[in-house]
Structure 1
Amino acid sequence: MATYVTQEGLDKMKVELEQLEKIERPKITQQIAEARDKGDLSENAEYDAAKEAQGMLEMRISKLKNIIFDSKIIDESNLDISKVSMLTTVRLKNNATKAEQKFTLVPDNESDIKAGKISINTPIAKGLLGKVIGDTADIELPNGNKLSFEILEISL
């Protein structure tokens, strides 16, 4: 199944993969060698920890390789900004608090709440999809709370 990513997201994953393969992997190999040199492996906590770290690292490398291989880059020039969709930035007004918020809807692996990027699979994003300027999005959160937003602006 294809993973949709932005060019920026794909580039970040490639940089991370290179870091893991060229820097982190040799470090862990060195740690394992040093722990092995300390003798009895059956009671060597350093060796066990290094082997566990190696396993986690190899899983992350494998996952990144699979995502990169299966990635489909989203062409932002073909996006329709007349309605809320993937990669659109939405300016909202919370109808209860009157506070304004701005979110960009992104693929799961690119979400960064501090940067205002929310996963397309969050309840808020799902509630916003397909809405147009002036629409109200009534969203029920997993904890049972309800939010109501007015769509003020949609942009890239």
Structure 2
Amino acid sequence: MSPCCRALGQQLALAPGVPRRAQHEDGAGGGARPGGPARSRPSPPMAEPLQKKLQGELEKYQQLQKELGRAVAARQKLETQLTENNIVQEELNLLDESNTIFKLLGPVLVKQDLEEAKGTVGKRLEYISGEMKRYEQQMQELERRSEQQRELLGRLQQELQAKP
């Protein structure tokens, strides 16, 4: 989650009138603290449905941010694999037929033909590039949806603050 998005989520979570779960002294969730009033202040009955909607939309926004974070992590992993495979391809291009190439299969090294190794690495690079494009599109879509959700949350927060 980007710092901007995290700040917005915190701002919205701490907005006046947004219901918060009161906690016991020991930090466990629950209603009012024993021997004392609840921490969240009572809200006018008219604003309650709007608060619930705001809370639901905030949860959707946070879920989008989690999905975006997972997509970014997956894309970074693919970038690492792409770099490693490019290095392997460069090394294979330096070799000729007189060199012996081995492929690791489980705990065993198996002799492999140079052209077969180059073909395998080439296909792997194509696959990784395709997956990176797919994740890039997914990230753009998640960012678009996240921005729409952020705008909706801003409007709902303004409505909530405008109500008496």
Could you state the TM-score of these two structures normalised by the residue count of structure 2?
0.32
Q: Which has the higher helix share?
A: 2
Q: Which has the higher contact order (CA 8 A, sep 6+)?
A: 2
Determine which structure has the larger strand proportion and give its number: 1
